[in-house]
Amino acid sequence: MTKTTRAGRAARKAAATARGAATHAANGAEMMRAASEVIAARMTILADGLADPMKADIREMSLMGTEKLEAMGASATALAGAMGDLTARASASAMQEMGHAARAASAMASARTPQAALSAQMSWAMGWWSRASSQALSVNAELLKAQAEALKPIHAAATANARRLKK
């Protein structure tokens, strides 16, 4: 793969990551707005229940806890899976980098001239820089994806509740 192809691929990945970040920020704002609406509606329900316990909306009051537990459980599951995947990728990348380093050390040790050793070292260093930059972009994209997946069940619960409680 040429340097130009790699640079183009990295630029497209960075642009996609930026678009994803913008979408996640909008979803986060929507979730926070919905959460404030739900909190306001439920505070009214709680106050009404305290004012007249016989007319308290027990069903809605019980949902306040169970919904949070379900959404947080789904969020934790999504986050654990994403972090496991990211850890596996990081381990694989570290192993590959050890192989690159071993080959570079061998090339430097077997070089016939100081210039050849320096060339092997520089080749490895430039390759490392390229690989590290690419991996940093990938990790950022994966972390944004993990954040989105972790917030998805909370967002869904908050927005569904806001729609339901507006009635």
- Tokens encoding 143: 């972390």
- Match 């537990």 to its residue by tokens: 69
DSSP letter at 54? Answer: G
pLDDT tens per residue, range 3-58: 788 778 878 888 888 888 888 889 999 999 999 999 999 999 999 998 999 989 99
pLDDT at residue 146 is higher than 90: yes
Percent of the chain at pLDDT > 70 equals 100
pLDDT tens per residue, range 85-109: 999 999 999 999 999 999 999 999 9
Whether the CB-CB separation of 58 and 140 falls below 8 Å is answered with no
Q: What is the mean pLDDT of residues 144-161?
A: 93
Whether the CB-CB separation of 151 and 27 falls below 8 Å is answered with yes
Cα dist. 52→44, 63, 102, 125 in Å? 12, 19, 75, 73
Exposed / middle / buried, residue 166 (Cβ in 10 Å: 0-12, 13-18, 19+): exposed
- Match 């990551």 to its residue by tokens: 17
CA–CA distance, 7 with 45 (Å, rounded to integer): 56
Q: pTM for the whole thing?
A: 0.74
The number of residues in the chain equals 167
Rg (CA), the chain: 26
Q: What is the mean pLDDT of residues 133-147?
A: 90
Whether the CB-CB separation of 83 and 146 falls below 8 Å is answered with yes
Residue 118 is which amino acid? Answer: L
> How is the chain split into domains, by residue range?
3-165
